[in-house]
Amino acid sequence: MIGASLSRWSMAYFAAALIALFAAEIMMTAGFGFPGATVAAPETLILVHVVAIGWLSLLMCGALLQFVPVLVVQPLYSDTLALPALVLLVSGLAALVLGFLQLGGYIGTSFPFLAAASVLLGCGFALIIWNLGRTLAAAPKLPLPAQFVTVGLVCVAATVTLGIIFALVLGGTVNATSLLVLTGIGRPIHATAGLGGWLTFTAMGVSYRLLAMFMLAPDLERPTTRAALLIGTIALAVAIAGGVIAALTHGNPAIALLAAFIGGVLALALYGADVRHLYRARKRKNIELNSRMTAFAFASLAASVVLIAVLLGLGQLEEHIGAVVFLVAFGWLSGLGLAQLYKIVAFLTWLECYGPILGKAPTPRVQDLVVEPRAVKWFRLYLLAVWAGEIVLLAGLPLLFRVATAAMFVATIGIAGEILRTRRLHNVAAASRLPAGAQLPRLLISSHA
Amino acid sequence: MFIQTEAMPDPTMLRFLPGREVLEEGTRGFRDEREAAASPLAEKLFAIEGVSKVEFARDSITVTRSGGDWQHLKPAILGVVMEHFMTGAPVLRNEAASSVHASAPPADADGELGHVKESLRQVIDPELGYNIVDLGLVYDIAAEEGGVIRITMTTTTPGCPATNYLKTGAGEAAGALPGVEFVDVQLTYEPRWTPELMSPEAKAYFGIDDGGGW
């Protein structure tokens, strides 16, 4: 193994993820779910899970299938498992949405959609965890970024387990008292494990490596990196294990979550110092659009932490939890995800199209597959719309929030259009687009190296 | 020293390019051992069984064989040519022709390896968009007898999905050169690459003004 191969199904994961993002933005613009409905309403649950599973998790899975092998310099355990996992996750999400619609009285049938969703999503995520876990386990030594991903995979297992319990309880499949109690008060644990452990912690690990690669910065193995990993892992363990134990023993999970938040802030502060160091130590002075836009995602992450702290101080966290989740999901995770997706698609498309003819014919650069000056306006619109949406959400102006999410939708369409142009090589000069031997990549399926 | 070989339309002839000046001007042919007495190099070539004719040009030696096959003759001829030029012996004994120096400096500083290096410049690191030679990813190029080129190279980061493409691309680029029969590309991560290894031009391109060390 000298280099990772192209992940065959990552493009299909990315396409499915973008469709889910469009769906979520349309829902918000149409006033479906929060803030028009409460955070616990079935409509909001649909919105939240389309974002968390459909958009962010599929995006993360697609990226990990490609980049975990890079992190550990090992081949992916199985390229074959990626497709059934995608099918299971998408059908599981569809069943989950139907189950929530059933809970909201939109569907009259008694089919156990939530139980079906539990099985489908449980199997889908299990395949992902198995595939990535075996890939990680094959490495003789796990570099720090891979250790973050490992913790992230443990957290997604916890998140899915809690989700299955909630779905089975809400669907009436199980009614054990302890699980009813856990479902009643365990939602913040589920959200922390998902948004904090699975999505944020994994993104932290991958970003250490991707930022270093894309900006020509040194790989970090600093004491701050190790401390961020250790403290972050402890904080997540306290939040998830401590929170569940507290809920099952009639305690208050909020205490565990508060303790975890303090640890989480410290871990994020250390991560912030590392990221700052990466940007400052980079050798590539003129960084590309993805790295520039990622900086704004980091700003959103920092703003999210400050916002939680301020709201906790004011005793208004519960009241504004929707606004917090919105900033974490769309400012931090989606901001990072869209920026890196813009680069990753160009990079993987280049490898697939021009890699096989390298040395045989002149090839364009990855940079020739994109037109940054055209794409940057969509990223700016997206970021401004998210921050405007956050402000009006906190100000309690739901109509203006819908205007902001409409702007987000337009920006996302613009970004997706740029990504599609990249994938179809529309930005490459006609003379050098397809030299002899090069083939236009398929849209959703990548050819192997 | 790297000696390229070039196939000729006539399969009984093979051209050797030592990367050094052979004759200052014109050409000089030797049809038998008697004529070869005017040149220490031609003399040694005629000592190889199967060589029937030798012709010198400005930068090449063309050998015609009367028997045997190139598979066996080529290594012997390469050995003679290499040894001759390495010792700095004159190509011709004639005083009038002594302005032809066997040890004359090569057309370019790197000799034929320079051609390999130049060819590798068409292989770009996709992410950085710059050629692998000026990025400092090519650690070593060595030429061996029989048109064998050995390249030792690295990538900017281990496990990079472009690794296999870069390795194959380097082999393709070097292998396309005339006279190159076989290219062996080895990857190494010892030492690990740093931007410090870039050429001054590449550093300027990326805006690196502090030497490039981590």
| CA-to-CA dists, residue A129 to A43, A147, A416, B129, angstroms | 29, 14, 28, 34
B205 or A304: which leads in pLDDT: A304
State both tokens at A10: 């990552």
pLDDT of residue A255: 94
Domain boundary among A141, A162, A177: A141
Number of H helices, E strands in chain A: 18, 0
Mean predicted confidence (pLDDT) in A264-278:
96
Task: Please tell me the distance from the alpha carbon of residue A264 to that of residue A239, in angstroms, as a whole number.
Answer: 10
B182-187 vs B148-153, strand pairing mode: parallel
For the ranges A71-75, B8-12, B141-145, the one whose mean pLDDT is highest: A71-75
Q: What does the pLDDT look like over A356-375, one tens digit per residue?
A: 999 998 899 999 999 999 99
The reply to whether residue A2 touches residue B126, judged by beta carbons under 8 angstroms, is no
Given a cut of 80, is residue B71 above it in pLDDT? no
Mean predicted confidence (pLDDT) in A412-423:
98
pLDDT of residue A384: 98
Given a cut of 60, is residue A89 above it in pLDDT? yes
Task: Please tell me the distance from the alpha carbon of residue A220 to that of residue A278, in angstroms, as a whole number.
Answer: 8
pLDDT of residue A1: 45
Domains of chain B: 4-97 (3.30.1370.70), 112-206 (3.30.300.130)
Is the separation of the CB atoms in A361 and B121 below 8 Å? no
Neighbouring CB atoms inside 10 A of A234's CB total: 16
Mean predicted confidence (pLDDT) in A64-88:
95
pLDDT of residue A125: 98
The reply to whether residue B206 touches residue A286, judged by beta carbons under 8 angstroms, is yes
Closest CA to A443 of A342, A334, A348, A354: A348
The reply to whether residue B161 touches residue A71, judged by beta carbons under 8 angstroms, is no
First-to-last alpha carbon distance for chain B, in angstroms, is 35
Neighbouring CB atoms inside 10 A of B99's CB total: 12
pLDDT of residue A448: 62
Q: What does the pLDDT look like over A12-35, one tens digit per residue?
A: 999 999 999 999 999 999 999 999
Domain boundary among A141, A164, A190: A141
In a domain, A184, yes or no: no
Instruction: Assess whether the previous peptide bond of B200 is cis (omega < 30° from 0).
Output: no
Mean predicted confidence (pLDDT) in A424-436:
94
Given a cut of 80, is residue B108 above it in pLDDT? no
Look at A270-274, A287-291, B112-116 and tell me which has the smallest mean pLDDT: B112-116
In a domain, A91, yes or no: yes
Closest CA to A251 of A238, A242, A263: A242
The pLDDT mean for chain B works out to 82
Measured in angstroms, the CA of A341 and the nearest CA of chain B are apart by 15
In a domain, A264, yes or no: no
Task: Please tell me the distance from the alpha carbon of residue A91 to that of residue A77, in angstroms, as a whole number.
Answer: 24
| Residues of chain A neighbouring B122 (CB-CB closer than 8 A) | 359, 362
Measured in angstroms, the CA of B130 and the nearest CA of chain A are apart by 8
pLDDT of residue B94: 60
Task: Please tell me the distance from the alpha carbon of residue B161 to that of residue B74, in angstroms, as a whole number.
Answer: 39
Is the separation of the CB atoms in A58 and A86 below 8 Å? yes
Given a cut of 50, is residue B106 above it in pLDDT? no
Task: Please tell me the distance from the alpha carbon of residue B114 to that of residue B121, in angstroms, as a whole number.
Answer: 11
Given a cut of 50, is residue B107 above it in pLDDT? no
Given a cut of 90, is residue B206 above it in pLDDT? no
In a domain, A97, yes or no: yes
pLDDT category, B2, cuts 50, 70, 90? low
In a domain, A148, yes or no: no
pLDDT category, A65, cuts 50, 70, 90? very high
In a domain, A113, yes or no: yes
**Residue whose tokens read 């590392």:** A274
Task: Please tell me the distance from the alpha carbon of residue B180 to that of residue B173, in angstroms, as a whole number.
Answer: 10
B97 DSSP 8-state letter: G
Q: What does the pLDDT look like over A123-158, one tens digit per residue?
A: 999 999 999 999 999 999 999 999 999 999 999 999
| CA-to-CA dists, residue B101 to A152, B59, B85, angstroms | 69, 12, 9
Residue A165 CB partners (closer than 8 Å, separation 6+): A174, A179, A182, A183, A186
A305-308 contact pairs (CB < 8 A, 24+): A305/A264, A305/A265, A305/A268, A308/A261
Is the separation of the CB atoms in A57 and A89 below 8 Å? yes
A305 or B17: which leads in pLDDT: A305
Residue B109 CB partners (closer than 8 Å, separation 6+): none
pLDDT category, A91, cuts 50, 70, 90? very high
Q: Count of domains in chain A?
A: 2
Given a cut of 50, is residue B99 above it in pLDDT? no
Edge-to-edge order in the sheet of strand B138-144? B138-144, B148-153, B182-187
In a domain, A352, yes or no: yes
Portion of chain A with pLDDT greater than 90, in percent? 92
Best mutation target, B130, B165, B189, B205, to test chain A (most A CBs within 10 A): B165
Is A208 at the interface with chain B, CB within 8 A? no
Closest CA to A138 of A70, A75, A81: A75
| Residues of chain A neighbouring B176 (CB-CB closer than 8 A) | 359-360
A170-177 contact pairs (CB < 8 A, 24+): A170/A99, A170/A103, A170/A114, A171/A99, A171/A112, A171/A113, A171/A114, A171/A115, A171/A118, A173/A112, A173/A114, A173/A115, A173/A118
Task: Please tell me the distance from the alpha carbon of residue A96 to that of residue A407, in angstroms, as a whole number.
Answer: 28
B62 DSSP 8-state letter: E
Measured in angstroms, the CA of A73 and the nearest CA of chain B are apart by 4
Out of B129, B166, B187, the one facing A358 most closely (by C-beta) is B166
Phi and psi at residue B150, in whole multiples of 5°?
Answer: -115, 120
Give me the total of CB pairs closer than 8 Å, taking one residue from chain A and one from chain B: 108
Out of B124, B163, B214, the one facing A218 most closely (by C-beta) is B214
Least CA distance to A217: which residue of chain B? B214
pLDDT of residue A162: 98
In a domain, A421, yes or no: yes
Is B162 at the interface with chain A, CB within 8 A? yes
Q: What does the pLDDT look like over A156-198, one tens digit per residue?
A: 999 999 999 999 999 999 999 999 999 999 999 999 999 999 9
pLDDT category, B100, cuts 50, 70, 90? very low
Is B206 at the interface with chain A, CB within 8 A? yes
User: Helical H runs in A282-368?
Assistant: 289-314, 321-326, 334-354
Residue B21 CB partners (closer than 8 Å, separation 6+): B58, B59, B100, B101, B104, B105, B106, B107
State both tokens at A66: 């490609």
| Residues of chain B neighbouring A75 (CB-CB closer than 8 A) | none
pLDDT category, B73, cuts 50, 70, 90? confident
B51-56 vs B182-187, strand pairing mode: unpaired
The reply to whether residue B160 touches residue A285, judged by beta carbons under 8 angstroms, is no
Measured in angstroms, the CA of B169 and the nearest CA of chain A are apart by 4
B9 or A413: which leads in pLDDT: A413
Name the amino acid, one letter, at B98.
S
Mean predicted confidence (pLDDT) in A254-259:
95
State both tokens at A181: 């109690």
pLDDT of residue B112: 65
Q: What does the pLDDT look like over A333-359, one tens digit per residue?
A: 999 999 999 999 999 999 999 999 999
Task: Please tell me the distance from the alpha carbon of residue A360 to that of residue A383, in angstroms, as a whole number.
Answer: 42
| Residues of chain A neighbouring B208 (CB-CB closer than 8 A) | 283-285
* Cα A417 from chain centre: 20
Is the separation of the CB atoms in A198 and A57 below 8 Å? yes
Domain boundary among A98, A121, A141: A141
pLDDT of residue B16: 83
pLDDT of residue B145: 85
Query: Residue A31 sits in which domain range?
Result: 1-141
The reply to whether residue B122 touches residue A286, judged by beta carbons under 8 angstroms, is no
Given a cut of 90, is residue B26 above it in pLDDT? no
Mean predicted confidence (pLDDT) in B71-88:
80
Out of B124, B171, B206, the one facing A216 most closely (by C-beta) is B206
